[in-house]
Structure 1
Amino acid sequence: MLTISEVLLIKKKDMKLKKLIFTFALASALFSCDDSIMEWKETADENKITTAELPLELAEKIERYEALNTYTDFILGDGVSIDFYLNNEAYRNITNENFDDVTAGYAMKHGPMVTADGSLNFTNVDAFIAKTKEAGLSVFGHTLAWHQNNNASYLNGLIAPTVIPGSSGSNSLDLSGLKDASLDGWAGNWNTAISIVEGEGLSNTSQAIQMIADGTANPWELQLGTPAIPIVSEHSYEVSFYIKSDQAGQGRISFDANLVNQYPWVDWYSNGSGTESFATTSEWQQVKFTLAAADFQPTATTFMFNFDLGYLSGVTYLIDVNTISVVDLDAEPSFVNIITNGDFEDGTINPWSGYGNDSSRTISADGEGYGGTGYAMVLTNPTEAQSYEAQQVYAFDAPLESGTEYTFSFFVKSTSPATLQVELQNESYGGDYSGGIVVGNTWSLVTRTITPSTDDKIRFIFDFGESATTYYIDDIILSSGEVETASEPTIVEKTEEEKAEIIGDALESWISQMVGHYKNDVHAWDVVNEPMKEGGSLRDGNIAELADDEFYWVKYLGQDYAVTAFKLARQYGNPDDVLFINDYNLESSLAKCDGLIEYANYIESQGATVDGIGTQMHISSTSDRDNIVEMFKKLAASGKLIKISELDVRLGTNAPTNDQLAEQSDMYKFVIDMYKEHIPVSQQYGITIWGISDSVEEHEFWLPDESPCLWDADYNRKHAYKGAADGFAGRDVSEDFTGELN
């Protein structure tokens, strides 16, 4: 079997051959179709000027250099924007002519690849890889497990708390005997078999009724009955609660004589046929059914029901106290909602409208409303601005009354932590404000009061320009009466074990799809990117404020997240793929360099294979050269393939002087010289230059107002091009230039 080094040598030679064929074909095409090439003519001897006697300017000298990759045998790569590569011909031509390998700076990361449902959108990267194939370039995969550039909204959504909606109206059942643990008003055939336990409910902090079946064989042998529940003639009622058991269980609901049928068979789980009982498992599940007006005796003014759980001996049941409810479905609301379309159940957001900050507003898909049912209004603000710079407006039919206290409420969540506010506004844009309302990624109920300061308030407005996020808003109520809303939802946090399992599955889903899809096209990957802190310890993900695209795999999977990532990359890729761990500032923090090497060794001690270490080297012309040398020595001692993965040299300005350009050139050459001197040839994977030119467009997001690249903003070769080429060649390539025209 070939070693990794032998495989790399073959790949390098193959790439050089492909590049040679491509360059020859390109040159042939250019010169065969250009009819305007100047023809040189002989002149009289006395009028000749010997070009060798003319001074050769540096710029002219640099232009006489060949393409960069002609000066080295190891893989020479470049970090590129796939949009520029696909759409900018000058950018693409320079890339194709000078490099063997390209790394997509952003497009192949979790954030741009993973969609809202966890599937991957391969369209852009497929087009990119197809184009690089035409040019004979290989693609380096960047990157699989990183804490930035993730679809953090999707990942956080996977581990977000489960939101159990509150009852759909006020609860007609008195729960006080449960909440004070006295069971006053509740009846049953219990002794110690039925009790109230703390912290065992849905939310892990709420109360639960615990019912233990011991020696029972019939449902009524373990029974708990409710207090009398008042009813209104001709009204229907919804009964619901959440229940689970320590093993497979069975239960039913029975009623007093105020129901026509005291032991009804109910279609508990919408399977189309009524049954006497419902099944229970170790997972919380809702039991919900409706009692129609015809189910009650004509003279009934109250009713009660029993939890009958004595079917199976040896089963322990838990019923969440907060979710036991009986709601009058025909009760008249005690208030008038001034907002006519606050629940969006007609599938539109009319008559709501809005504007500002390129924001958008729409209706959600059915089932995305509060509680996982119906519709919600969806507001998206693309960039952070002032709160009032993105607004969603509801116009009243008549102005509100000044001095009157109004109550508003709504359910809201957002795709990332955010803030919004509510405003009452007049025709002249004068407003009364609610103050900031903090929003998270799970549904929460907001209830506030607000009093119009004048009689001319004609608009209810959501000001949502402060946070760059998407809001879901549902069940909006505005009233001057006492607002009776649905009860607070129950928030069920996932355990740390559950989160670890979910995020582990998400990591496998991402890597298996990405590496599997590009198995035939990408044969080297940054598997784990930037795992270390500056002092050399492993990042732990305990960050106070996360950016919208930050997600720390290590926080949920522990230090073995990298072990898992490397094993998955190998499992779903090819046996000879070259897999890297990569980090930055290794030349400025030697402790970090040591820590990265130690972590790579740890990963291998757990059964994974790390083929190489990448050092990014985003440096400046004044970076410590002794540290650079020491870093290379440490990396060489690891015995692994070493790659300079993202090399650029900053100058601190986008308008450098000639002296600064010379310093930059010298630093490029120094880094390349030291790489070749201290990294054994068998460990030299290659060098990737980060970026093509100093153009403003290329540096919108990376090193703005800088000039770190080998080509200037107009795609002309800089002094740094000569420094890099001389470093690759191991000599001053221009020392033999005579100035003769070829």
Structure 2
Amino acid sequence: MKYTKNILGTMLLTAVVTASCVDDKPLAFEVEKPASIAGMEYLNDYDVLKNYVSSSANPDFKLGIALAASDYIAGGQVTQLANSNFVEMTAGNAMKYASCVNDAGEMNFDAVENFVTAAKAGGLTIYGHTLAWHSQQRPKYLNSLIKDKEIEIDPDAANNFIKYICGEAGVNSWDKQATYVLPKALEQGVEYTFKVDIKASEAFEGLEFWPIWEASPNKNEWGGSNDVQYLGAKGAIGTDWATYEWKFTSNFPLDKLQIVFGKFGGTVCFDNLALVKDGTEDNLITNGDFSEESTEGWGNNWNGPSFEIGMEGAGPAIYYVDQVNNGKMEIGQPMDNFIVRESGKGDVPGVILEGQGPDGINCISITSISGAVNTHDTQFFIVTDKVWEAGEQYRISFWYKATAEAPCETQCHVTPGAYIHWAMLPQNPNFTTEWQHYEATGIIPADVAGKGMRTIAFNLNADKENGHTYYFADIHWETVEKGNTIPLTPEEKKEVLTAAMNNWIEGMMKATDGYVTTWDVVNEAISGGGDDGEGFYTLQSASNASADDAKNNFYWQDYLGNEDYVRIVVAAARKYYAENGGTAPLKLFINDYNLESDWDDNKKVRSLVHWIKKWEADNVTKIDGIGTQMHVSCYANEATQKSKEEHVVKMFEILAESGKLVKISELDMGYVDENGNSVKTENMTEAQHKAMAEYYKFIVKKYFEIIPAAQQYGITQWCITDAPSDSGWRGGEPVGLWDSNYSRKHTYAGFADGLAGK
């Protein structure tokens, strides 16, 4: 029969120029066809895609399709296309964390179990996507696991005390003193007993008790006996509370207590002070147990340590939050908090010396210039993201030494070089050739008010004539916080999140019951920016994400660690797969995008291979393969398209050299015109469709040509049909091998020809 005008009009409305017959449903009658439809007729001669896989491919090669699990389970035309053309499926979202876990942390794997059942019935394997990812997580639930923990309040256990933070050890016993002004002077010639509980951050000897007559008209506090009683030391001071006692007769109307410990460089704590006249019970020290959280009457000497109320047991507690990232100076972690400036040169991070710090930890070195004009011609800066306020309390600690003895100055800066104030630390460190530990609490100077201070500057050219090398290690600059909750330590966060990750993976492995033998074990780990210290990209992190991404995603690696993150997930996958019916070899892939990118000359794929070597360096972790997503576009601009193709080839070469299995895990394609604009399906020309077909053929052919057969895991087409205009993925673009009416497109032929090696 012939078309009538009306019938022809109807057919042209329902079939775009790219349309051909739907697989397995040929027309039941003959017609005269318009030229545009006749031009598609050749597609009817193509077999189903899986029959085109090259005979030289790995016999285990998997041709896959990505589908919504619900679409496949529905058993309609999508199911027919999948079963007839492919051997493996990837669920678009159904097997991701946010699809199975709710905001309360409750897991539901019903959709996964139904998907597995349907795949078994259809004879398709499943590629698991994905076990670990920063996106499509449940930040509300996961952040609740690592929120500040409540401090158990036991009023009977509450204990306040006063602590003195010495910083650098002094040369003389009197260099560090805790002083207390008595409300009333002692009676001359009367016997007294002084008791105090003391503990220290580390054991030391040399603490003495020197009560003094501060109001003496002939005061001689530097020696002699006109106004001071030197009552001597009491042996070693330990790290646990112990009671020390002095009995003495007051030789003067003593009005001030002095406890001296100048040769100690740690923290000394005092509690339960009692000074009692013999024969009485009245304590002459006010608030000796510090129950009022007051330091009234307490002080230090001219060279003295800072002091504050400490607390044990009941809250509100005092705790510290470190504002310095990577204070341990770990290789591969950002060094943005540590900056070196030499006169006439640009700012650079400090040089990490691996294992050369105290007790084998890492440190950094800074070498001062010779012939300096100013003490600040060489500077070392500790920088935080936090803006410090005037009067804010802080605690700082670090190890330090130099190649020669040298003093240094410390200043307040906004950012490195933006000077605010001449004095920062309560006591400047004096460098020696041996490692020393510095610890002090202090108050941000009033002069920085409103100026945005973020930086401590160490001026390292006190010796202007000679250059020396200075070393710093284990740097921490902390805010002093107070409350009835306390942040989990990094170790505690890692522990609770490791348990959560294990729980999730165990649940997924139970739901899949050993049927899913290949997984994206970690998805999109590489950031595509930054420098890990070895010339490669860093991992994804909240610190290098946009504000919205940092809020809406959950970066497991920020808590589990750059290397342990992948190791923990791999170990859990292998353990729970074996425990839940898994008998076939388990293959675990790292999946990522932009590996074929030309704008960075394939740096991302090189970085991924580099990180896989780091993850496997423990000789336990084994990663079987690499998935390259390849959400590409075909470009009308010939030079651009040529560059894209060259870097696809480079990517395959790098992946082949890795020795890992290689999967094109998420292949789809759009079209970009000469003006750099993505073309929507409705505006595509036949020539553009054919150009896309050629690019599909190029990609698939190069995969088989470059990837050794033993490394060829498979290729998965990410979009079975063109995307609807309202799709969340490449909306309105011609990304499918079939059109929206499930008819083959020119790209179907290009894909098939690539598989066949034409």
TM-score, length of structure 2 as denominator length: 0.49
TM-score, length of structure 1 as denominator length: 0.50
